[in-house]
C-alpha cells in the first residue's frame, strides 16, 4: 500500500480517538488543585510550628515526594493519574512519580542494574536540561547585573 503523507495523516486522524477535553481539563484542574491545596495545608501546618518560609518549603516538597513515592509503590498514584491526567504531573508529585515508576518497573533486574540504573531514565533529561537552563539564565542575569542592569 503506497500512501502520501497527506493520506496517511488523514488515516491517522480518522483512526485516532478524540480527546474529551471538556472532561479532561476540569479533572486535571481538580486533581492538580487538590495536590497544591494539600501542599498549602502542609505549609500552613508547618509554619504554625514556627518554621521559616524556606524550611516550610523544603519540608512540604519532601513530604509530597515521599507520599507520591509510597502511592506509586502501592499502585495508587497510577490510578489517580489516570483519573486526573496532567493534573498529577504539573506539581512536584509528577517528578517523584517519574523517578519511582521506572525503578519499580526494573526491580527484577536487581538493585544495581535495575533500580539504580533505571531510576532516572525519565526524570534524568529533565534534571540535566533544567540544570543547564538554570545555569544559563543565572549567567545571563549575572552579566546584565554587572553591566548595570537590574534583574
Buried b (16+ CB within 10 A) or exposed e, 61-94: bebbbebbbebbeeeebeebbeebbebbbebbbb
Rounded-to-integer distance, Cα 40 and Cα 24, Å: 24
Residue 102, C-beta contacts closer than 8 angstroms, at least 6 positions apart: 118, 119, 120, 121, 122
pLDDT at 149: 72
Q: Residue 46's pLDDT band (boundaries 50, 70, 90)?
A: very high
Maximum separation of any 2 CA atoms in the chain, in Å: 70
Q: Residue 14's pLDDT band (boundaries 50, 70, 90)?
A: confident
**What number of CA atoms fall less than 13 Å from residue 42's CA on the CB side?**
18
In this structure, the number of other CB atoms found within 10 A of the CB of residue 147 comes to 7
Rounded-to-integer distance, Cα 104 and Cα 25, Å: 29
Query: Is residue 86 within 8 Å of residue 80, measured between CB atoms?
Result: no
pLDDT at 82: 86
Average pLDDT over every residue of 46-52: 94
- Global model pTM greater than 0.75: no
Amino acid at each position: 500500500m503506497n500512501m502520501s503523507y497527506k493520506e496517511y495523516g488523514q488515516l491517522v486522524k480518522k483512526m485516532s480517538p478524540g480527546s474529551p477535553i471538556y472532561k479532561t481539563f476540569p479533572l486535571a484542574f481538580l486533581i492538580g488543585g487538590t495536590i497544591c491545596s494539600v501542599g498549602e495545608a502542609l505549609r500552613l501546618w508547618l509554619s504554625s510550628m514556627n518554621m521559616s518560609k524556606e524550611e516550610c518549603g523544603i519540608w512540604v516538597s519532601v513530604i509530597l515526594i515521599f507520599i507520591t513515592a509510597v502511592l506509586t509503590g502501592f499502585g495508587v498514584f497510577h490510578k489517580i493519574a489516570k483519573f486526573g491526567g496532567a493534573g498529577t504531573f504539573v506539581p512536584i508529585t509528577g517528578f517523584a512519580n517519574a523517578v519511582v515508576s521506572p525503578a519499580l518497573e526494573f526491580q527484577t533486574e536487581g538493585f544495581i542494574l535495575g533500580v539504580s540504573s533505571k531510576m532516572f531514565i525519565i526524570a534524568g533529561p529533565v534534571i540535566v536540561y533544567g540544570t543547564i537552563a538554570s545555569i544559563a539564565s543565572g549567567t545571563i542575569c549575572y552579566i546584565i547585573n554587572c553591566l548595570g542592569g537590574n534583574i
